[in-house]
Structure 1
Amino acid sequence: MFNKLFGKPKAKGKDAKANVKTVATALSSMERINENLDMLEKKEQILQRKIAAELAKATEYSKAKNKRAAINCLKKKKLFEAQAEQLAAYQLRLHDQMILLEGAKATTDTVDALRSSAVAMKAIQKQTKIDDVDRTMEDISEQQDNMKQIQDALTGPVGVASDFDEDELEAELEELEGTDLDEQLHESMSNVPYAQEPIMSSPEAAVPIPAPSKRTPPEKTPVHDRSEDEELAALQKEMAL
Structure 2
Amino acid sequence: MSKISQMFKGSSGSSYSSSSSRSKHGHRSRTGPTPQEAIHKLRETEAMLAKKQDYLENKIQQEIMIAKKNGLKNKRAALQALKRKKRLEQQLTQIDGTLSTIEFQREALENANTNTEVLKNLSYAAKAIKGVHQNIDLDKIDSLMQDITEQQEVAQEICDAISHSFGDTFDEDELLAELAELEQEELEESTKKMGRLPSVPSSKVPTSKLPSSRPSYHTSSKKRAEEKDAMKALEAWAI
What is the TM-score of this pair, normalised by structure 2? 0.61
Match of 2:215 in 1: 216
Q: Which amino acid aligns with 1:131?
A: D
Does 2:55 align with 1:56?
Answer: no
**Which whole-Å deviations, capped at 9, do the CAs of 1:137-193 have from their partners, x for residues lacking one?**
1111222233344445556687xx6xx7x68x6686466335423322223323536
Separation (CA, whole Å) in 2 of partners of 1:172 and 1:55: 119
| Change over 3 Å in CA distance of 1:51–1:157 after alignment to 2 | closer
Of the three residues 133, 138, 141, the one matched with 2:146 is 138
Match of 2:126 in 1: 118
- SS of the equivalent of 2:96 reads helix
**Which whole-Å deviations, capped at 9, do the CAs of 1:91-117 have from their partners, x for residues lacking one?**
111111111111112211221222122
Instruction: Provide the aligned length of Structure 1 versus Structure 2.
Output: 177
Separation (CA, whole Å) in 1 of partners of 2:62 and 2:54: 13
Of the three residues 37, 40, 48, the one matched with 1:39 is 48
Of the three residues 49, 61, 70, the one matched with 2:78 is 70
**Which whole-Å deviations, capped at 9, do the CAs of 1:46-78 have from their partners, x for residues lacking one?**
1112111111111122142x2122111111110
Q: Which amino acid aligns with 1:111?
A: L
| Change over 3 Å in CA distance of 1:124–1:189 after alignment to 2 | farther
Gaps of 5+ in 1: 1-20, 196-212, 224-241
Match of 2:192 in 1: 190
Query: Which is bigger in relative contact order (C-alpha 8 A, separation at least 6)?
Result: 2
Q: Which amino acid aligns with 1:30?
A: I
Separation (CA, whole Å) in 1 of partners of 2:155 and 2:53: 85
Q: Which amino acid aligns with 1:101?
A: L
| Change over 3 Å in CA distance of 1:43–1:155 after alignment to 2 | closer
Match of 1:28 in 2: 37
Give the drift of 1:127.
Answer: 2.7
Match of 1:202 in 2: none
| Change over 3 Å in CA distance of 1:59–1:192 after alignment to 2 | same
| Change over 3 Å in CA distance of 1:114–1:187 after alignment to 2 | farther
Q: Which amino acid aligns with 1:138?
A: Q
Match of 2:108 in 1: 100
Percent identity reads: 29
Q: Which amino acid aligns with 2:141?
A: V
Match of 1:87 in 2: 95
| Change over 3 Å in CA distance of 1:62–1:157 after alignment to 2 | closer
What is the TM-score of this pair, normalised by structure 1? 0.61
| Change over 3 Å in CA distance of 1:146–1:90 after alignment to 2 | same
Separation (CA, whole Å) in 2 of partners of 1:191 and 1:98: 113
Match of 1:233 in 2: none
Q: Which amino acid aligns with 1:44?
A: Q
| Change over 3 Å in CA distance of 1:38–1:151 after alignment to 2 | closer
